[in-house]
Structure 1
Amino acid sequence: MNENREVLKLVGARIRALRKERGYSQESLGEKGGFHFSYIGQIERGEKNVSLVNLAKIADSLDVNLIQLFAYIDEVTETTESEKQITSIVELLRESNPANLKLIKKIIQEILEK
């Protein structure tokens, strides 16, 4: 049972981190997803066993893929400069259209082959 609580806390911490990165309050995130702000707080603290459907709504409200809610963060681990650069690149790629993504992939492949 303790392991279940840990998962809830990790997902909740991840949601909190993503919400703060976007500058959302619990209230504004709740409004975007159709939830009460207190429910968002309970999720972030690991107090609610949130359904997969509600997690999908939260992910959509945060403009992330559902799987990103499970990319747990370790608050004591510092992010390296390389990890920050990769995150920045991924954010740019998410905003690109499919044609540009194909071109970018070819360029990256050519660079890495050398």
Structure 2
Amino acid sequence: MEDREILNLVGARIKVLRKERGLSQEALGEKGGFHFTYIGQVERGEKNISLVNLAKIAEALEVDLSQLFTYKNEDKGSAESEVVIQEIITMLREAEIKNIILSRNVLREILRVNNTDK
């Protein structure tokens, strides 16, 4: 893989995650401590971003650092699934225990019904 290709892939992934969270480049920059022009350069693959800055961006996006690399060896549907799962985990972490238990029970029922439909 060429240097430019990895920069483009990571940048595109950051852009997808940012948009899914409804953040502008400016808002993401503020959350991560960067100028919005830097975020734009990263998303376009113009900057060779350090691991420290990648970690700051992942934290600002509220995802694990590994989520910035989920494009690798995955199809689009699988990558989208991982993003949705991460979003659900983030919501659950902020919820009260009674709502976490309720969510688990609802999810069990949904998956049980879908599995019996096959």
TM-score relative to the length of structure 2: 0.68
Unaligned runs of 5+ in 2: 113-118
- Return the structure number with greater helix share: 2
- Verify the 8 A CA contact 1:14 1:73 in the aligned structure 2: no
Aligned length: 99
Give the aligned partner of residue 50 of structure 1. Answer: 49
Q: Deviation per CA, 1:13-39: give whole Å up to 9, x if none.
A: 000000000010000100110100000
Secondary structure in 2 matching 1:64: coil
Secondary structure in 1 matching 2:62: coil
Secondary structure in 1 matching 2:22: coil
What CA distance in whole angstroms lies between the structure 2 residues aligned with 1:86 and 1:47?
26
- Verify the 8 A CA contact 1:9 1:45 in the aligned structure 2: yes
Shift, 1:65, TM fit: 0.2
Unaligned runs of 5+ in 1: none
Q: Indicate the percent of aligned positions where both proteins have the same amino acid.
A: 57
What CA distance in whole angstroms lies between the structure 1 residues aligned with 2:35 and 2:82?
34
Q: Which has the higher contact order (CA 8 A, sep 6+)?
A: 1
The correspondence for 1:91, drawn from 87, 90, 99, is 87
- Verify the 8 A CA contact 1:12 1:46 in the aligned structure 2: yes
Map residues 1-114 of structure 1 onto 2, 5 A cutoff: 3-72=2-71, 79=77, 88-96=84-92
Give the aligned partner of residue 115 of structure 2. Answer: none
Give RMSD over aligned pairs: 3.0
